[in-house]
A = this chain, B = another copy of it.
Amino acid sequence: MTAKKRAIVLHSGGIDSTVAAAVARDGGYELNLLHFDYGQRTEHRERTSFAAIARAFDAKGREIADVQFLQMVGHSSLTDYKMPVPEGTSGGIPTTYVPFRNGIFLSLAAAWAEALKAEAIFVGVMEEDGPGYPDTTEDFVNKMQQAIDSGTKPESKIEIKAPLVHMSKTEVVKLGAKLLVPFGMTWSCYQDQDIACGVCQSCIMRKKAFEEAGITDPIRYRK
């Protein structure tokens, strides 16, 4: 038996990163889940989801990287608790954008990948049907790929895989259902940690996707 291919998966505990992890597992990769604590409002709840899903997926490795620096940086309603989390969806880049978050996350993942000799980093970014952040596009992923190729050892071959980048959220939910993703363990709400608020952009997008997919969302909502 040959050694299993090894992957790092950026894992928030939400639907997209959990489906990305399921795609990696389905592709035969050994999973090493990487979560980030950057002072986001719902970190306590996200961490519970991360741990539960890592167990459910029998992940080989799991780590939580401390990026509290992003809380110092602020400039986002997810990390600056004085800024309100907007209700509903908006035009343009919403205030929930965290400056260059995925650049930081992919860079930290690249360091771990190089040390582990992992050949892939899975990330659940979505370009068209995501929240409209600049660091969730295919172009951005390609540019980070080039930076990682250039800035790591010549023998390190690390490929960023963004399997959801051109999917709709509805397609992601359907794919997750097919791959038996434990949706009840995931957390998407930007605002609350006990019962999902149901009115922030992330809750609205999640509810709509389940409805369109014709699948019952197992979590409860306040509204």
Interface size class of A (residues with CB under 8 A): 35 or more
Q: Which of A104, A107, A112 has the most CB of B within 10 A?
A: A107
CB atoms of B69 and A63 under 8 A apart: yes
Q: How far is the CB of A115 from chain B (nearest CB, A)?
A: 4
Q: Which 6 A-B pairs have the closest CB atoms?
A: A135-B151, A75-B115, A99-B111, A99-B114, A143-B147, A65-B69
- Nearest residue (CB) in B for A101 is B111
CB atoms of A134 and B152 under 8 A apart: yes
CB atoms of A144 and B134 under 8 A apart: no
- Nearest residue (CB) in B for A133 is B151
- Given the interface pairs A65-B69, A110-B103, A114-B99, the reply to whether A147 lies near B144 with Cβ below 8 Å is yes
Query: In this assembly, does A1 line the interface, its C-beta being within 8 Å of a C-beta of chain B?
Result: no
Partner of A102, one of B74, B103, B151: B151
CB atoms of B140 and A151 under 8 A apart: yes
Query: In this assembly, does A68 line the interface, its C-beta being within 8 Å of a C-beta of chain B?
Result: yes
Interface residues of A (CB under 8 A from B): 63, 65-70, 72-75, 93, 97-104, 106-108, 110-112, 114-115, 134-135, 137, 139-140, 143-144, 146-154
- Given the interface pairs A114-B75, A153-B97, the reply to whether A147 lies near B103 with Cβ below 8 Å is yes
Q: How far is the CB of A221 from chain B (nearest CB, A)?
A: 31
CB atoms of A66 and B69 under 8 A apart: yes
CB atoms of B153 and A143 under 8 A apart: no
Q: Which of A75, A104, A111, A134 has the most CB of B within 10 A?
A: A111
A-B contact pairs, 25 of them (CB 8 A): A63-B69, A67-B108, A69-B111, A73-B111, A74-B115, A93-B153, A99-B111, A99-B114, A100-B152, A103-B110, A104-B104, A104-B108, A104-B111, A106-B107, A134-B152, A135-B152, A137-B150, A139-B150, A143-B143, A143-B149, A143-B151, A144-B151, A146-B146, A146-B147, A147-B147
The CA of A65 and the CA of B18, in the complex, are separated in Å by 28
The CA of A100 and the CA of B113, in the complex, are separated in Å by 10
- Nearest residue (CB) in B for A65 is B69
Using Cβ atoms and an 8 Å threshold, which residues of chain B touch A151?
Answer: 100, 102-103, 134-135, 140, 143-144
